[in-house]
Each structure stands twice: as C-alpha cells, then as structure tokens.
Amino acid sequence: MKIVFTSDTHRGFSEKTYKIHQLFLQKMSEENADLYIIAGDLAVNRQKQFYSSLKDLRNFLGKNAKICIVRGNHDFQDATFNHHFGEWNIHQKSFKALLSRQNEWFEQFEIIHLQKNSIKIDDLLIVGFDGWYGFTKGETLSLYQELKEKGNKVFIPSDLDRLTPFMDGVKTYDWLKDTADSEFLRTLNEVKNFNNKEKTILVTHMPIYHTDDKYILHDGDITKFNKIAPYINTLIHGHSHLDLDFNKNDVRVITSGSDYDKPKYKVLNF
C-alpha cells in the first residue's frame, strides 16, 4: 500500500503560493497513491484559504482518491492583521459556525476528517486528531486573556489573538485544548482495541512529544506520546516545518518537511 503525505502547505503565504500549489498537487497526483494524508496547516489565516485548499486537493488528486486530513492551528483562524491599529481583525465571529462550515466542506469534497472517522484500508488502521494540546497550560492562557481584557499589556502567543475568542461562552482555546484531550483518549482507546502495532498509523498536526526544536512553539505533551507509543507503528505530524524521520520508543516519527512556499511530500510503503 502506497501512502503519500504532506502538511504545512500554508495557502495564502505569498503571491506565489497558489501557483506553487498547482505544480505541487499535480506532482502529488502522479504518485497514484492508495491514500493521501494531509497533516494540517493548509491555510495561513483565512478560512477561504482552507476551503480552496480542500477543493484543489479533490480536483487535482481525482474523484477516486482517498484523502484524509487533520487540522492545524492555522486552519482554525479567520483574521487579518490591521497594521493601522496593530491588532488582528477577526472576520468569523462565531467559532461554532466556522467549525460547521468546515464540516460541510469535508462532506462536499469527500475528504475524511480523521478526528471524526478513522479509516481501515486492507489491514491498516489510520487514526488521527487535530490537537491543540501544545498549549498545555490552559490556566496560564486564561490568566493572560484576563489581564489583557483588563487593559494590561501582555504577550499572548499570536495564534490566540487570531482566533474567534468565544464559542457559546466557552473560551475557544479552552475548548480546543479540552477537545484535543478528549480526542486523544478516544484515539488511544481505538488503537488499544485494534491492538496491532505494526499496522497502526497515527496522524496529528502538532507533535505529541516534548522537543527543544525552536520552531515548535507549542510544546508537545510527552505523557501523550508515551501512552500511545506501544500501540502505533508510525506517527505522522506537521507544524514543525523541519524534515524529520527518526525512531522514538519504537515508533517511526516522520514529517513532510514542508515549509511555507516549499511544499514537500513523502511516500510511505506499507
């Protein structure tokens, strides 16, 4: 079985991005893979970038291609930076609406969102979840936000400034973190039940292990990796933008190595 995967293509990064993606997707389609995996960060800061990326994936890879995806931190944003006021202007006011529009797009382009549906092809199980678990200290972030709301000048990781801040009264980043935690547990149960390490692939956007990589701003949670490692053969993740392929606790950890306008994919044969 031939798997092709990529991540961090970040549509909207520059004026050249769109053209680069056309060539990149054409090349990817020529691989004729049995499965295509996209490990998040398709967009930079707008939902229209996410939408057009999904549309192009389907158009270029063809109507019969199996495509699955997890979302990255950038895929939850819909905001542009206002240089005059020096702050982010958030376009999508309802985070819930943003999520439901994305679900419609997944259906429209028949793209499998791994957080909702894991897939089995032949005897292989592919599971995944989006993950926002990098912000491990939700309390600290709530404190930042409170201070900021009171008019204090505080540094908040920039991703948070670009998010629609509330969903039904719940702070969006708390929701993202809680969802990541519960989705992790669901995934852990699924791979435990499947119980075939050699035939299990996990896909996440952020790394689920601690790293000193300075490009990974959102530190992973080592406890998550250690809990799930006994049940998975391979972890495919994005976010880092570094080209990684190494062994950790008997798991092959691999990234595509895509970095903004330099998209790359890798081929895995199982």
Q: Which of 3, 5, 8, 111 binds Fe ion (CB under 5 A)?
A: 8
For Fe ion, the binding residues in 12-41 under the rule CB under 5 A are 41
Query: Pattern of binders to Fe ion over 185-224, x per CB under 5 A?
Result: ----------------------------------------
The CA distance from 214 to 217, in Å, is 6
φ and ψ of 183, to 5 deg: -70, -35
Q: How far is the CB of 238 from Fe ion (least distance, A)?
A: 6
Region from 4-12, 75-83, 86-94, 220-228 binding Fe ion, contact rule CB under 5 A: 4-12
Q: How far is the CB of 151 from Fe ion (least distance, A)?
A: 30
Q: How far is the CB of 72 from Fe ion (least distance, A)?
A: 4
Q: Which is nearer to Fe ion, 72 or 220 (CB)?
A: 72
Q: What is the residue type of 250?
A: D
Told to check if 130 binds Fe ion by CB under 5 A, we report no
Q: Which is nearer to Fe ion, 9 or 200 (CB)?
A: 9
Number of residues near Fe ion (by CB under 5 A)? 5
Query: Pattern of binders to Fe ion over 65-84, x per CB under 5 A?
Result: -------xx-----------
Region from 96-104, 116-124, 231-239, 261-269 binding Fe ion, contact rule CB under 5 A: 231-239
Binding stretches for Fe ion (CB under 5 A):
8, 41, 72-73, 239
